[in-house]
Amino acid sequence: MTTTHPVVGALEGRTAVITGAARGAGRACALAFAAQGADLVLLDVAAPIPGVPYPMGSRSQLDHTADSCRRQGADVLVAAVDVRDLAALTELRERTHDRFGAPHVLVNNAGIVAPSGRPVHETAEADWQLMVDVDLGGAWRATKVFVPAMVERRAGTIINIASTAGLVGYRNFAGYVAAKHGLVGLTKASALDYASYGVRVNAVCPGNIRDEPAMDGRMLSEVARALDIPQAGHDELFTADQPMNTLVDPADVAAAALWLACDASRRVTGTTLTVDAGYAAR
């Protein structure tokens, strides 16, 4: 009898590459995958990005994620890599192959939510290009680098962490919305490109993710800042807009990614799995 849910050790013997792993949903995915037996390649820019008005994940946060995964028994390769740097990603692929062989799973989680907070006509060209280059171009580059070995093996899974911004519009976030809509489109097109090779490609579309201290999250705080919403009590304000009257936890995103990564979803490709407490259903 087949199963339709992850079992303990569902990723045993597999290697997963996770971008944007220093904190937030990236850290949550790393911990969930490690708990299921995966070895991990964890990367993050781990440095400021000029033009992004808030601190990026740090090397110490990335190392904390890695150490937490090692305590669960995972073998972990850590790298400070900017997903805008194709050469650095290519070098990391070689290190990955030397250490683990070809990876089985790629989670494209790296992304930024700002510079945002302006209507389209007030958006600077540099801000637009930065948003698209990180949030869409980064996933394209990582796929370009890591998918050939999956094609050769005739098996693999790519999971793109998009957003409800890939499904609906948000005022004053045109660059982010456009990039995330593009990521959903990339998911569907690449799913067709690789279906005959046994490589599955899906997207997870989270809604507002709680800034959980254990995950060092700060995405929701940055959205509030971009919208001039006071930091005090902004959780309650965002929660009131959710049909289920709750925010999404990083672990909710990780659980969706885990299901897409394992054999329980072996016939699922080219789809978007929305984890948003009902927001996009309205």
What amino acid positions are annotated as catalytic residues?
A: 176
Among candidates 268, 275, 261, 251, which has minimal Cα distance to 9? 261
- Cβ neighbours of residue 38 closer than 8 Å, sequence gap 6 or more: 11, 12, 14, 15, 16, 74, 105, 261
Cis bond upstream, residue 115 (ω within 30): yes
* Residue 37 to residue 101: CA distance in whole angstroms: 16
Axis crossing angle, helix 174-194 with helix 138-153, rounded to the nearest 10: 10
Q: Find out whether 10 and 36 touch, Cβ atoms under 8 Å.
A: yes
Instruction: Give kind and range of the element (H or E) at residue 133.
Output: none
Instruction: Give kind and range of the element (H or E) at residue 60.
Output: helix 59-70
Q: Using CB atoms within 10 A of its CB, is residue 221 exposed (0-12), middle (13-18) or buried (19+)?
A: middle
Among candidates 206, 282, 181, which has minimal Cα distance to 241? 282
